[in-house]
Structure formats: C-alpha cells, structure tokens
Amino acid sequence: MLWDDFMNSLHRDWRGDGREDDRLDDPAWLRQWADKLPLAASEMPDEEQLDSLKRLRVLLHRMARAFVDVRLPEAADFEQLNERMARGQVARRLSAFSEGESGRYEVELVPLESGWPAVEAEIAASFAAMLSEGEPSRIRFCDNPSCLWVYYDDTRNRSKRYCDDKLCGNLMKVRRFRARKKAEAAAATGSGRSSDDSPS
C-alpha cells in the first residue's frame, strides 16, 4: 500500500543502535520510490516540496497512532488529509474486463496532472481508502520499540505483533529470554547467601 510504504521512509535501525534514517533526504531512494508511483514526478522535490512531504508523513503517523491507541484522530487531522487529497485532480474512466461470458466493470480514477502535489494527493488518498474500505483497527506499529515500522495487520486473528517475525520477532524473543535468565540469576544470587552472611 502506498501510504505505509511512504510512512516507513523514516527508517529506524530495528536492532536498537538508535540510528534514524530519513530516506526522503536520500535522492537515490526517493527517485527509485517515485518511479514506482502510479503517476510521475519528473523532477526531484525542492526544499519546500520536501518539507511538505515530511509534514504529510507526520500527519499520517499522528492519525495512525490515534487508531492504534483506539481513539479517533482530531477533526483538524481529517481536514488536513482532505486538503492534501484536493491537490490532485482526477478523471473517472470506466474499464471493462471480460470473464467468460460475463463481464466485470471498474471505475478507475486517472490523475490529470503529475508533480509532487499530485503525489501527495495520491498518498493521502491511499490512506483514506484504507480507512474507508479496510479496518483502521488493523493498523499496527511494530512491537519492537527500536523499529516502530507501520503496517496493516491482515492476519485472520489480528495477532501480528511485528513487522517481520524473523527479524524483529526473533530479536525480541531473544531479548525476553536474556532478560528472564538475568532475572533468574539475580534472584538466585539474592537468595543464595550462606548463614554466615546473615545479620547477627
């Protein structure tokens, strides 16, 4: 999904060294990411456009956090999201798909312009579509506090806790194991004093 890919452009080192990497500041990453978008931005964003992209990312993070915390985002945040979507004008186009003897029809929204304001509108629209067509209660932040990757939990029982079970999941499992062993060792040391150590 476009919205979560964009939100995760603020990348944290999941192993916990504290490093934060804003990939929007990396022209190579930004160009590669922009090339995958449904509409083109022929030029790299200038300083003002880059700042606008980062403010959109903050907005989406704030709204996602609200849903994770089981509360509604502020009304002002919905207004800002609508303002972003208004920056991209689209036309409606009907497409027909044949399926055996029957057909399937789909109304497609076609962007009328390119450029970074239109890109922002598509990102905002992607988030809005998830809210309206999906389940906002499935938005998650990775349980690894060093990661906080944003994702949509599409598991049947809504049990997904980590962005990647093999990376963050295993890391946190090892950390819990070590913490438990350390606590057990501390408890054993504290209760293992001899009678000579007892106060007289």
Q: What is the pLDDT of residues 174-196, one digit of tens each?
A: 777 777 778 878 888 876 554 44
Say what angle helices 75-85 and 47-68 make with each other, to 10 degrees: 140
Residue 107 lies in a domain: no
In this structure, the number of other CB atoms found within 10 A of the CB of residue 144 comes to 22
Percent of the chain with pLDDT over 90: 45
pLDDT score of 107 more than 50: yes
Nearest to 31 by CA among 2, 134, 23: 23
Residue 103 clears pLDDT 90, i.e. is over it: no
Would you place residue 167 in the very low, low, confident or very high pLDDT band (cuts 50, 70, 90)?
confident
DSSP bridge partners of 99: 102
Is the Cβ–Cβ distance between 90 and 160 less than 8 Å? no
Give bridge partners of residue 94 from the DSSP assignment: 107
> Does the residue 148 lie in any domain?
yes
Copy the structure tokens of residue 55: 């403010």
Residue 95 lies in a domain: no
Predicted local confidence at residue 57, as pLDDT:
97
pLDDT tens digits, 122-142: 999 999 999 999 999 999 999
199 in any annotated domain: no
| 76: DSSP letter | H
Residue 44 lies in a domain: yes
Per the structure, the count of domains in the chain is 1
Within a domain: 135: yes
CATH code, 72: 1.10.3300.10
Range of the domain at 144: 2-86+114-189
165 part of a folded domain: yes
Question: What pLDDT does 11 receive?
Answer: 87
Position 36 in a domain: yes
Question: Which one-letter amino acid corresponds to residue 11?
Answer: H
**Quick one: how many helices (H) and strands (E) in the chain?**
6, 6
- Helix or strand holding residue 24 (H, E): none
